[in-house]
């Protein structure tokens, strides 16, 4: 994939990781042009078998992505009565869904303010990280006389619960990073100098694991939104599929060779897991 012809997104690639830097001054407003580029990027990513992790961040530390362009909304056609669309017909909804359902793991690194359509976009991502004292989330549609129409009324309650979603949507106030992390909107609230290295390390680890295990684990977790019995059936099938995979069998044996299932190895299982990604061979020791 070339990932060229983008003017509001700066694309960079490092192995299995692809990063997009949103640069649409002055506030990274979700203009029609930015929306078009994000939608096109989602289609390219969905079709790219080599990207394991996608990270979205902003060139502006104060603004991640603002709400959808209100002037553009005022230009939407209203000459016909409102009509219900079948699932998948709303193009903005479809874009948000792609970022969550694609093979790649999607991560939003939110250093500043995110609101309206920008917030709805990242709610569809697999993970979101924010900065203590800087990240602010806002759904400002109801004060304008409308409502979140880009998945917000459906995704936000699933993230933080119905009552809290109503507080955010109906209250029109900012949600700070600490509260957003405690409520489940953000995975973590980090210091400004910590968020970049943390996401870099997380992305590098995911890219280092066996690709098929990452892909199928994400698929299995996504099934948790449906009925539990159906999810368990699929989880069992995917597990059985992976234990037949030669890469998995080699990794499991390597785990044992490195000292897994010993008291010393199990106390440092995170570091042992990192060794499985290609660190020096031999059993794990306290000096490693």
- Identify the band that residue 64 occupies on the pLDDT scale cut at 50, 70 and 90: very high
Per the prediction, the chain carries an average pLDDT of: 94
Is beta strand 9-14 parallel, antiparallel or unpaired with respect to 127-131?
unpaired
Mean pLDDT, range 229-233, rounded to an integer: 95
Is residue 282 scored above 60 in pLDDT?
Answer: no
The pLDDT > 70 percentage for the chain reads 96
Q: Tell me, what's the pLDDT at 278?
A: 67
CA quadruple 228, 234, 240, 246: dihedral sign: negative
The pLDDT score that the predictor gives to residue 277 is: 85
Q: What is the pLDDT of residues 137-189, one digit of tens each?
A: 999 999 999 999 999 999 999 999 999 999 999 999 999 999 999 999 999 99
Confidence of residue 288 (pLDDT cuts 50, 70, 90): very low
Query: pLDDT tens, 248-268?
Result: 999 999 999 999 999 999 999
pLDDT of 285 over the 70 cut: no
Q: How far apart are CA 48 and CA 273, in angstroms?
A: 27
CA atoms in the 13 A half-sphere facing the CB of 252: 9
pTM above 0.75, yes or no: yes
The end-to-end CA distance of the chain, in Å, is 39
3-state SS class at 60? coil
Length of the chain counted residue by residue? 288
Instruction: Give dist(CA 169, CA 73) in Å, integer.
Output: 18
Q: Which residues contact 141 (CB under 8 A, 6 or more apart)?
A: 67, 116, 147, 148, 149, 152, 169
Cβ-contact 151, 178 below 8 angstroms: no
* Contact predicate 65/22, CB 8 Å: yes
> What is the Cα Rg of the chain in Å?
21
Higher pLDDT pick, 285 / 141: 141
Q: How far apart are CA 131 and CA 178, in angstroms?
A: 8
Q: Which two tokens stand for residue 221?
A: 């977790």
Tokens describing residue 190: 């980090």
């Amino acid at each position: 994939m070339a990932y060229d012809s983008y003017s509001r997104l700066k694309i960079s690639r490092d192995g299995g990781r692809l990063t997009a830097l949103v640069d649409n001054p002055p506030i990274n407003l979700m203009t029609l042009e930015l929306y078009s580029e994000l939608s096109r990027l989602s289609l390219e990513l969905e079709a790219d078998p080599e990207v394991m992790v996608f990270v979205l961040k902003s060139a502006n530390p104060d603004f991640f992505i603002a709400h959808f362009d209100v002037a553009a909304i005022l230009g939407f056609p209203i000459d016909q009565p409102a009509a219900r669309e079948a699932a998948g017909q709303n193009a903005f909804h479809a874009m948000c869904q792609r970022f969550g359902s694609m093979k790649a793991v999607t991560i939003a690194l939110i250093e500043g303010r995110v609101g309206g359509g920008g917030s709805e976009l990242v709610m569809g991502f697999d993970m979101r990280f924010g900065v203590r004292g800087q990240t602010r989330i806002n759904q400002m549609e109801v004060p304008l006389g409308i409502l979140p129409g880009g998945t917000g009324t459906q995704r936000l309650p699933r993230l933080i619960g119905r009552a809290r979603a109503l507080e955010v949507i109906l209250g029109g106030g900012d949600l700070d990073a600490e509260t957003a992390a405690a409520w489940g909107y953000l995975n973590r609230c980090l210091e400004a100098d910590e968020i970049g290295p943390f996401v870099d390390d997380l992305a590098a680890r995911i890219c280092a694991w066996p690709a098929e295990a990452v892909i199928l684990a994400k698929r299995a977790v996504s099934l948790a939104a449906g009925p539990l019995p159906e999810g368990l059936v699929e989880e069992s099938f995917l597990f059985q599929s992976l234990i037949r995979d030669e890469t998995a069998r080699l990794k499991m044996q390597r785990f044992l060779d490195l000292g897994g299932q010993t008291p010393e190895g199990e106390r440092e299982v995170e570091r042992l897991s990192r060794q499985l990604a290609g660190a020096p061979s031999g059993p794990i020791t306290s000096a490693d």
